[in-house]
Amino acid sequence: MNREYDMQPAKPQFPKFLFCVSVFFTVCGLVLTFIWPILLRYILQSKLVLTPNSETHDPWKKTPFSVPLDFYLFNWTNPEDIYNKNVKPKFQQVGPYRYWEVYEKSNVTWNNNGTVTFRHRKFWHFNYTEPNGDLQARINTINPVILSAAHTVRSWNYWVRKGFSVTLSGIASGINITQTIDEMLFKGFSDPLLDMTSSIPFLAGRLPPYDKFGFFYKRNGSVNNDGVFNMGTGINSTFGKLYNWNYWAQTPYYEGKCGKIHGSAGDFFPRSPDNSVISLFLPSLCRSVTLKLVGQGEVENITGYTYALEARTLDNGTIYPENKCYCNGECLPSGVLNISSCSYDAPFFISLPHFHNADPYYTSLVDGLKPENEKHDFYITLEPNTNIVLEADAKLQINMLLQPIPGISIFEKVPKAFFPLMWSQQHVKIPASDASKLKWLLIMPVILSST
């Protein structure tokens, strides 16, 4: 998650440690390029390609308008009961806090094998004049810095754990923190543990040089958030297909087939003979996910095929044995994805908001979460003849695993729970004017059959 992709081919050599500092978290991969009018024209010409001189280039390079990104955070309302076995952690959702995302490609290189290599660069703007949440409001949550550190230390020698436990007790009053929304997202906040690590012998040198924690800390305008993409341009390659990420065709984060990069890079969905599933790569998860055709939907009176993120991706290998290699050793009940390997071994887990489509186990460990399909599903609707995105509603929740850690006093008597921290939503829809153009196109069979 907080990988910094400055290094070239090799795997980033960050220490395997706490750090989740600029923990990612946008529904990043989902940066569908919204250039409907141009796509329509190109379909007419039946050659959808991307080159420096093609009409698709400019809007691909920089999306011509910004799209909303909504954050919801979970306020932990009963931290005083954390050591009380009879009371579950209780959460209250706050938000949405709406930011406007401006998305562009940077460090673009056109390769002579028909692919293009690039990075993402995103800016987020908060509009203080539109009705929005209060960024200065305070919420209680679990301290992700301390939890990550304790999680790392849990398998170390008993005396090291004891020493760490004493250090922790000296600097932290508990496992909870109170911060503003702004600090949790972009501003970041310092933690005594972050300041001290350089002086703790067994932690020294094991940390990336971050001074603060925040989910989006130092991500605004950075080219290092999402990694390096190598995508097909449609010339000697499949248009829109992601070939390599960070120069890998196979990532080291998941075993075997699960580490293999496949599907769309997020900009365009290649047309394929099998329209029962679509795949796309999500850099924040370091993996591709598969969305299954779940039905038809109407968007601006155009019929589209709707693909949802459901069991095909969330199952733990019981229904889809090919998902087993995502378990990374220990399979969990379905519905939660272990992304520790993708976040410096910090115990981060991704799910749909409110553990939607997940085993009821997860909601049973906490109070206050209530999954609802319309509010919490993740889907993309494509026009089936052209694969143009009619609508996309992407949502993901980030959770941390809290569990008893022997030898570290403040974690010794905690319950086990997948602690929800926050979720984000990005919803976009084809504008009515472009939809009507597309509708005309679709009733011209001669043109379409020639594509």
Residue 54 interacting with ligand NAG (CB under 6 A): no
In the complex, least distance from residue 306 CB atom to ligand NAG, rounded to whole angstroms: 18
Residue ranges of the alpha helices (H) in 31-76?
36-44, 57-61
- DSSP 8-state assignment for residue 68: E
* Max CA pair span of the chain: 76
Q: How far is the CB of 330 from ligand NAG (least distance, A)?
A: 4
Closest CA to 209 of 198, 223, 220: 198
Contact positions with ligand NAG (CB under 6 A) in 352-381: 359
CB contact set of 173 (below 8 Å; sequence gap of 6+): none
Please say which residue, 155 or 449, places its beta carbon nearer to ligand NAG.
155
Site membership for ligand NAG, residue 124 (CB under 6 A): yes
Binding mask 83-102 vs ligand NAG (x if CB under 6 A, - otherwise)?
-----------x--------
Q: Any contact of residue 404 with ligand NAG (CB under 6 A)? A: no
Structure tokens that stand for 394 in this block: 């992407």
**Residue from 13, 53, 112, 449 binding ligand NAG (CB under 6 A):** 112
Q: Which is nearer to ligand NAG, 288 or 449 (CB)?
A: 288
Quote the least distance from Cβ 143 to ligand NAG, whole Å. Answer: 8
Q: Which is nearer to ligand NAG, 443 or 446 (CB)?
A: 443
Q: What H or E segment, with its residue span, contains residue 266?
A: none
* 3-state SS class at 355: helix
The residues near 87 (Cβ < 8 Å, ≥ 6 apart) are 78, 81
Residue choice 199, 301, 449, 450 for contact with ligand NAG (CB under 6 A): 301
- Separation between Cα atoms, residue 341 and residue 332, nearest integer Å: 15
Instruction: Tell me: does residue 111 bind ligand NAG (CB under 6 A).
Output: yes
- Of 97, 137, 128, 103, the C-alpha closest to 28 is 103
Q: Which is nearer to ligand NAG, 108 or 200 (CB)?
A: 108
User: CB–CB of 28/424 below 8 Å?
Assistant: no
186 counts as binding ligand NAG under rule CB under 6 A: yes
The distance of closest approach from Cβ of residue 449 to ligand NAG in the complex, given in angstroms and rounded to an integer, is 25
Beta strands in 13-147 (DSSP E): 67-76, 91-110, 115-126, 138-142
Please say which residue, 196 or 204, places its beta carbon nearer to ligand NAG: 196
Query: Is the bond preceding 96 in cis, omega lying within 30 degrees of 0?
Result: yes
Contact pattern from residue 415 through residue 434 relative to ligand NAG, giving x for each residue in contact according to CB under 6 A and a dash for the rest: -----------------x--
Backbone angles phi, psi at 224, to 5 degrees: -100, 10
Contact pick of 44, 49, 135, 137 for ligand NAG (by CB under 6 A) = 137
Based on the shown chain and the rule CB under 6 A, indicate whether residue 325 belongs to the binding site for ligand NAG. Answer: no
**For strand 379-382 and strand 348-351, is the pairing parallel, antiparallel, or unpaired?**
unpaired
User: According to the binding rule CB under 6 A, does residue 245 interact with ligand NAG?
Assistant: no
Classify burial at 175, counting beta carbons within 10 Å of its beta carbon; exposed 0-12, middle 13-18, buried 19 or more.
Answer: buried
What residues line the site for ligand NAG (CB under 6 A)? 6, 75, 77, 79-80, 94, 106-107, 111-115, 117, 123-127, 129-130, 137-140, 173-174, 176-178, 186, 220-221, 223, 230, 235-236, 243-244, 247, 300-301, 316, 318, 328-334, 338, 340-341, 359, 401, 432
